[in-house]
Structures are given as structure tokens and as C-alpha cells.
Amino acid sequence: MQANSSTRLTTGGTPLRIAMQKSGRLSEGSIALLREMGLEFETYKDRLFVSARNMGVDILFLRDDDIPEYVQDGVAHLGIVGSNILEERRPAVDRLLNLDFGYCTLKIAVPEESEINRLDDLTGKRIATSYPEALRRFLAEKKIEATPVLLRGSVEVTPALGVADAICDLVSTGSTLRTHGLRAIQTVFESQAVLICQPNMKPEKSVFVQKLLMRAKGVQDGRRCKYIMFNAPRSALELIKQRIPACRSPTIMDLADQKFVAVHTVITPEDAFWEVVESIRDCGGSDILVAPIEKFIR
């Protein structure tokens, strides 16, 4: 379908460039987000960039490590990157939005049989890591004198090789640690994918970025929230509004049976979903329908 020209986003000049990981753990989530934001584009294995068909946007496919510099230097206006890389490099970019995917944690781990159990036990020890700056800052903050050993990969095998006493590495499920006979003793930071932008952008690009940011938030709020509809006795309505914060200001509709009403509202992530459902039932609500929200623009 042809995009309606009145809704087409343009900068009136050169395309806006968005950098994302070419191939890796953040690629699928980044592509899904950009498509849900309305960008129409193809992906090709060997292409380093593509232009969106329906708006003035080029997408650059890069190694994740290069994205912060590209955005900082203004080669790309926006980027999607793990906050772990920002923590390590501290590039001069603005963080616009946490994106709710690419979750992982930088953890310090030791061999199962190690005598190291607490942070203090790391004093005088060697810790292998690809995140030496983040680790150094963390150790300084905790006043622990240990030595980071920089490695680019395969950090988890270093204790077995006698190269280090502990490791500091990204963990998501923890299965890699278990496979290598390691146990975590400390979290350094939590990470997820974030949308970053070049600071001090030209005004026409900045307006475009704000529009894209609104779309990204709309996609995200849509994913996080649920539309809920249920029937309730009219007499229970006040109790429902009082007891259930998610139902404080609902849409109420009359039903054929005057004793009942239909209640429509949105449940946000702050409202614990199943607890809301249980409270609705406790208050006499029934026929509870839950629907996904495609986009939610606040």
C-alpha cells in the first residue's frame, strides 16, 4: 500500500540515519521495533545500509561496539545499543528511551569451589573482563583493590586456565556460568537495549527524532499495556473504582440489563495484571476480556 503523503515523515533534506546491530542479540528486537514504528525496509545479509521505502530514513547495520561512536560523531543521528556499551565507554550521546529488550546483567563470578564469596574477598585478585572501565569504576566505588585483566572474548574459561581468579561478564540466563562451573557473587549493573541520539542535532533533524521517539514510546506502551473489559453489577461500581487503581477512571457502558454495566480500562505494567483480575472478580466483576494493544499514544 502506498504511504499517505500527509503522514510521511521527512526532514526536507538528507535522510535521518539510524544505526543498529547488523547481526547479533539486538538485531531482531531492533528490526521489530523499527518496523512497528512504521518504517518499511528490507534487510539484506551483505548490505551495510538500507533506505526506508516510506520515509526519509536510512538504517545502518553495524557492529554493536561501533554504534556509540557513530552516533557521537554524527554519522548516525539515532542508534540502538546495549546500555552495557554506554556504561563501559561513556560516549557523548543522549539516552532517549529504554527499549525493554536485550536484557542482561554484568556480573562478577568465581569458580564453584573458590574461596571467594564476598566482594571483600576479591582484594588482590585478578578479574578477567571485556568491561575493564566499568569494573574499575565499580571496584573503586566499593574500595576493593583488585586487578582487571582485559580480554576481548571467552572470559568464562580464564579461571580454569589460571589466567584469572574471577570473571566479570555479561549474563542473561546464567547457563554459560553453570556450564563453566562458575557462580555469580555480585551484580555490577543491569543492561538493556536503549535508543540513543546525537547531542546538539540540527533543529530539523531534532523535530524528526522527537516524532520517531513518540512512535517508539507508543509501540512500547502498547506492548506493556493491556485493554481489559468486564461486566459488573452497577451497585459494585464504586467499590471497584475505590479498590482497584487501574479502574479509577474507566469507561462505563450501559448494558441491556440495567443492573449491570460494562467497564473498559487499560492495565499498565505498574498494575500487577493477575492481581487486578482477582480484585475485579472479588468485587463481583465477570466475563473479563483482555485484549492486546497495538499502539498506545499517551
Interface residues with ligand ATP (CB under 6 A) are 21, 24-26, 63-65, 82, 84-85, 102, 104, 170-172, 191
CB of 133 or CB of 204, closer to ligand ATP: 133
Window contacting Zn ion (CB under 5 A); options: 59-67, 118-126, 185-193, 219-227: 59-67
Q: Does 65 bind Zn ion (CB under 5 A)?
A: yes
CB of 62 or CB of 263, closer to Zn ion: 62
Stretch 210-239: interaction string toward Zn ion, x if CB under 5 A: ------------------------------
Amino acid at 192: Q
Tell me the closest approach of the beta carbon of residue 76 to Zn ion, in angstroms. 16
Applying CB under 5 A, among 11, 34, 64, 261 the residue interacting with Zn ion is: 64
Listing DSSP states for 88-119 in one string gives HH--S-EEEEE-S-S-EEEEEEEETT-S--SG
DSSP H helices, the chain, are: 27-36, 67-72, 83-89, 132-141, 158-161, 175-179, 203-224, 237-243, 273-282
Rounded Cα gap, residues 277 and 126, in angstroms: 51
CB of 89 or CB of 234, closer to ligand ATP: 89
Count of residues that interact with Zn ion, criterion CB under 5 A: 2
Residue 57 CB-density burial (10 A; 0-12 exposed, 13-18 middle, 19+ buried): buried
Contacts of Zn ion in 87-126 (CB under 5 A): none
**154 DSSP assignment:** -
Place of cell 547488523: 22
Task: Select from ligand ATP, Zn ion, none the partner in contact with residue 25, using the beta carbon and a kind-dependent cut-off of 5 to 8 Å.
Answer: ligand ATP
Residue 117 CB-density burial (10 A; 0-12 exposed, 13-18 middle, 19+ buried): exposed
Task: Select from ligand ATP, Zn ion, none the partner in contact with residue 80, using the beta carbon and a kind-dependent cut-off of 5 to 8 Å.
Answer: none
Cell numbers standing for residue 64: 554493536
Distances (CA, A) of 221 to 195, 209, 227, 269: 15, 18, 12, 9
Q: Does 133 bind Zn ion (CB under 5 A)?
A: no
Window contacting Zn ion (CB under 5 A); options: 48-56, 62-70, 127-135, 212-220: 62-70
CB of 3 or CB of 50, closer to ligand ATP: 50
Tell me the closest approach of the beta carbon of residue 152 to ligand ATP, in angstroms. 9
**Residues 265 and 226 sit within 8 Å (Cβ to Cβ):** no
Q: Does 169 bind Zn ion (CB under 5 A)?
A: no
Could you list the residues that contact Zn ion (CB under 5 A)? 64-65
